[in-house]
Amino acid sequence: MGKETFSFQAEVSKLLDIVAHSLYSHKEIFLRELISNASDACDKLRYEALTKPHLTSDDSEFKITLDADKKAKTLCVTDNGIGMNRDDLMETLGTIARSGTQAFMDALSAAKKTEKKVKGDKNSDARVDLIGQFGVGFYSAFMVADKIEVTTRRAGESRAWLWVSDGRGEFSIEETSRESHGTDVTVHIKKEDKEYLDRVRIQTIVKTYSDHVGLPVILKGDGKKQEDETLNTAAAVWTRQKRDITAENYKDFYQHVSHMYDEPWLIVHNRVEGVQAYTNLLFIPSSRPFDLFQPERKSQLKLYVKRVFITDNCDELLPSYFRFVRGIVDSEDLPLNISRELLQHNPQLAKIKKALTKRLFSELKKKAEKTPEEYATFWKNFGAVMKEGLYEDFENRKALLDISRFRSTKSDGLISLNDYIAGMRDGQEAIYYITGEDAAQTTLSPQLEGFKAKAVEVLLLTDPVDEFWVSSVGSFEEKVFKSATRGGADLKDVKSENDKLDQLEGDRKKKVASVEPLIAAFKIALGEKVKDIRTSERLTDSAVCLVADDGDMDIHLERLLKQHKQLNEETPRVLELNADHSLITKLAARVTSGDGKDPIIDDAAHLLLDQARIIEGENLSDPSAFSRRLSSVMEKGFSN
Ligand code: ADP
Ligand code: MG
C-alpha cells in the first residue's frame, strides 16, 4: 500500500497548535508520556499473551529503549509491546481518543472564556498550566519536535506501518517493515530543544518521572565507549519496601496511574498476607477528577495479578462512591488467566473489596480526627460522592455517617453528626435539616426563623444527593432526621434561651385564637390550592411560609424531580401564618369586624400564597393574576 495523507481531526489540530506554541516550562514531560505509552503497550501485550502465548514467542523480555542520536538530532523511544496496525493508528494518532485529552480541551475552552472576560488577553498562562495538569499524552511530544515518525507492528500481524507528521495539520501512513512486534517513536528534536539529546539530561528526566515504571528503561550506548545503561529501578513501586520509596516516587506513580497532576492527598499502601494475599497502593487525589459526576460512575483502579496487568477501571474492587480513588491492587491468588468477564461476581475480589473499603474508612476516620481542616478539604471535594453510599451501602452506613461532615446554621466550618447531637437544645428530639441549592440562600428561608429564635441548629444540605439519603437513612444514634420545612416540627417542646421568649409564647396562644377566623376565610378563598392553613411555630419575622405536610414530599425534592422531568403534578402545600405578624393580625381584625364580603381578604390570601411561593424559589402558577391583585391592593392602599 502506498503513502496516504490525512488531516488531523480539527480538535487535534487545535491542540497541536497550542502544544507547539506554548511556553510550558516543563517540556520534558513529553518523555514521561512516551515512556508511559510504551509501558502501557507492554502491559497490554503481556495480558494478551496469557491466552495467546505465541504472540510473544520471539520476543518476551519486555523493555523500553531510548536512543539519542546527536548527529541526526533524533530521540527514539522503542518498545516491544503490542504495537499498532493501520486501523489502530488511524484511530489513535489523529483523533482525540483519550478522554483525558478531551477534558484538557474542555478545560481549555472554559479557561479561555474567563480569560477573555478578565483580561482580554488570549496568551495568558492558563493554557500552559493546563498542559501540566492534564498531560496531553502522545501529542505533547510536538512541544520539542518538528517531526515525529512512528514505526509500528501489531503483535500477531505481519505488516508494519510508518506514521509521520510535522504536527501541522496532516499526517501520513504508509507500509514499512519492522523485524518484530512493537513500536519506535522517533522524535526529531527542534534546534532550541537540543538539551533532550543530552545523556545526562535524559537520565535525570527518566529518574524523575519514570522511575516507577515496572520494566527496564534502557539508554543505549554508542556501541564504543558507552555501554547500554538501565536508568530506572525497574521494579513496580508497590512491590518495593515502603522504607525504600520516597514521597517523590509515590507522587510520580500516582500521576502515572491517575493521569492527574496534583499531589496525592492520601496514600494507602499495604501488603496483606493470609487467606487473600494482595498489595494495594491507593491514592485519594487532592482535587476533583473531571469525570467525577459522569453517569457511568466508573472506578479507576487497576488490577494486577502477580505483577501482570489485567485491567484498568476494575469495578469490583471498591464501591462506586469511592470512584475518585486511584491506584492499583495486585493479587497473589487470582488465576493469571482470569478473563475480564470472570472478574464480575468473583468471591475472591469481593473479599478484597470488603477489606479495602474497611481500610479506607479507618484511614479517613483517622484523618478526620487528627487533621480536621485537611479533612474538610477532602470532604468538600468528595463528600457529595461519598454520601451516595448512605443509601447504597447499608453495611457501611454507620461508618459513613461517622465520617460525614455538614454545614449548619450555627457553624462556619463543617460539623459531624456527633457535634450536632452534642449541641442539641433541651427538649429537642430530632436532627433538623433543610435542603436547598445554595447554603447562603437556604439560611435565609423563613422556615428557619423559629429555629434561630430558639437557638436550634439546622443542618444545611445543599448537594442533590442529600434528598435521597436523608429519607432512607432515617436516624442517627436514635435521633431522627427531620426537615425544618415540614409540618409538626415540634418546636414547642424546645426550651428557649431566655424567659422572655417563653413569655411571648404565652401571648402567642392568645393571638393564635384571634387568627382563627382569618384562617377560615383564607381556606374559602384558596380552596384546593393549599392542603391546609395553620398558624406557625417557626416564623418570627415573615408573615407566611409554605411547608410540606408530614408524610408529603419535601418541597426541594419535588422541585428537583420536576427539573429532571421525573414528576409532573404538584403536591398542595400547607400555608403557615405568623400570628405575631402585624399584617396578619390586622387582616384578622378586618375579618372579625367585617360582614364576610371584604374583597381585600380574597386578594390578600392569593398574594400571601404567591409571596410564600416566591420565597421558596417557585414559579408563580398565574403571574398575571398576581400582578392584577397586587395593583388592585396598592391602589386601595393609596386611596386611603
Ligand atoms: P493515552 O496513553 O492516555 O491513551 P496518548 O495520547 O498518550 O493517550 O496515546 C494515545 C493512544 O495511542 C494510546 O492509547 C495507544 O492506543 C496508542 N499508542 C501510543 N503510543 C503507543 C505505543 N508505543 N504502542 C502502542 N500504542 C500506542
Ligand atoms: Mg499516554
Kindly report, residue by residue over 190-205, the tens digit of the pLDDT.
Answer: 999 999 999 999 999 9
Pick the CATH number of 375-493 from 1.10.1660.10, 3.30.910.20, 3.40.50.300, 3.40.50.11260: 3.40.50.11260
Residue 97, ligand 1, Cβ within 6 A: yes
Determine which of 78-87, 377-386, 460-469 has the lowest per-residue pLDDT on average: 460-469
CA distance 535 to 548: 14
Q: Would you call 561 helix, strand, or coil by DSSP? A: helix
- In the prediction, which pLDDT does 564 show? 72
CA 101 to ligand 2 centroid distance, Å: 10
Which among 483, 319, 299 has a CA at the least distance from the CA of 391? Answer: 319
Any atom of ligand 1 within 6 Å of the Cβ of 98 = yes
Is residue 105 over pLDDT 80?
no
Ranking 48-52, 218-222, 241-245, 496-500 by mean pLDDT, the lowest is 496-500
Q: What is the CATH number of domain 238-371?
A: 3.30.230.80
Q: Do domains 238-371 and 499-639 have the same CATH topology?
A: no
**Type and span of the H or E element at 173:** strand 170-176
* Distance between Cα 37 and ligand 1 center (Å): 5
Range list of H helices, 298-387: 347-370, 372-386
Pocket lining: 92 vs ligand 1, CB cutoff 6 Å: yes
Q: Whose CA is nearest to atom 7 of ligand 1?
A: 137
Q: Which of 11, 12, 40 to mutate to test the pocket of ligand 1 (most atoms within 8 A of CB)?
A: 40
Query: Which of 62-76, 361-375, 398-412, 580-594 is predicted with the least confidence, judged by mean pLDDT?
Result: 580-594
pLDDT of residue 511: 78
Atom of ligand 1 nearest to the CA of 44: 25
Q: What is the mean pLDDT of the chain?
A: 87
Nearest CA to ligand 1 atom 19: 37
Beta partners for 149? Answer: 164, 186
* Pocket perturbation via mutation, ligand 1, pick of 76, 82, 88, 138 by most ligand atoms within 8 A of CB: 138
Do residues 470 and 435 make contact, with C-beta atoms less than 8 angstroms apart? yes
Ligand nearest 98 Cα, by number?
1
Q: Where are the domains of the chain?
A: 4-233, 238-371, 375-493, 499-639
* C-alpha 93 to ligand 1 mean position (Å): 8
Query: For residue 573, what are the β-bridge partners?
Result: 530
- Residues ≥6 apart with Cβ < 8 Å to 344: 315, 316
Quick: pLDDT tens for 285-311: 999 887 788 777 888 899 998 888 888
The residue-averaged pLDDT of 354-373 equals 97
- At residue 259, does pLDDT exceed 90? no
Whether residue 122 has pLDDT greater than 80: no
Higher pLDDT, 385 or 127: 385
Task: Answer for the pair 140, 33: CB distance below 8 angstroms, yes or no.
Answer: yes
Distance 40 CA to ligand 1 centre (A): 8
- Ligand 1, atom nearest to 82 Cα: 25
Q: Locate the ligand 1 atom nearest the alpha carbon of residue 79 and give its number.
A: 23
For residue 409, pLDDT over 80 is answered with: yes
Q: How far is CA 559 from CA 90, 295, 438, 566, in A?
A: 47, 21, 14, 10
Tally the residues of the chain: 640
Is residue 79 within 6 Å of ligand 1 at its C-beta? yes
Domain covering 499-639 assigned CATH 1.20.120.790 in the classification: yes
Residue 335: per-residue pLDDT: 82
| Consecutive H or E run containing 328 | strand 326-331
- Nearest ligand, CA 140: 1
Does 585 sit in the ligand 1 pocket, CB within 6 Å?
A: no
Tens digit of each residue's pLDDT (9 = 90 or more) over 124-152:
455 556 665 666 789 989 999 999 999 99
Q: Please enumerate in sequence order all residues whose Cβ is within 8 A of that of 593, keeping only pairs 6 or more positions apart, or say none.
A: none
**Is the pLDDT assigned to residue 119 strictly greater than 50?**
no
Ligand 1 proximity of 435 Cβ (cutoff 6 Å): no
Shortest-distance ligand to the CA of residue 87:
1
Please tell me the pTM assigned to this model.
0.77
Which superfamily does 4-233 belong to?
Answer: Histidine kinase-like ATPase, C-terminal domain (3.30.565.10)
Cα(28)–Cα(34) distance, integer angstroms: 11
Sheet containing 229-230: order of strands: 4-7, 170-176, 160-165, 145-153, 182-189, 74-79, 64-69, 217-219, 229-230
CA-nearest residue, atom 23 of ligand 1 = 38
Mean pLDDT of 392-407: 96
Nearest bound ligand to the CA of residue 181: 1
- 161 alpha carbon – ligand 1 mean position (Å): 15
Does residue 82's CB lie within 6 angstroms of at least one atom of ligand 1? yes
182 lines ligand 1 (CB under 6 A): no
Q: Which CA distances in Å does 463 have to 288, 323, 589?
A: 15, 18, 44
β-partners of residue 305 are: 308, 331
The pLDDT, as a whole number, for residue 45 is: 94
Residue 589's SS3 state is helix
Give the residue, by CA position, lying nearest to ligand 1 atom 8.
137
Cβ 81 under 6 angstroms from ligand 1: yes
| Closest alpha carbon to 416 in 430, 426, 431, 429 | 431
CA dihedral 208, 209, 213, 215 (to 10 degrees): -60
Q: Is 102 a pocket residue for ligand 1 (Cβ < 6 Å)?
A: no
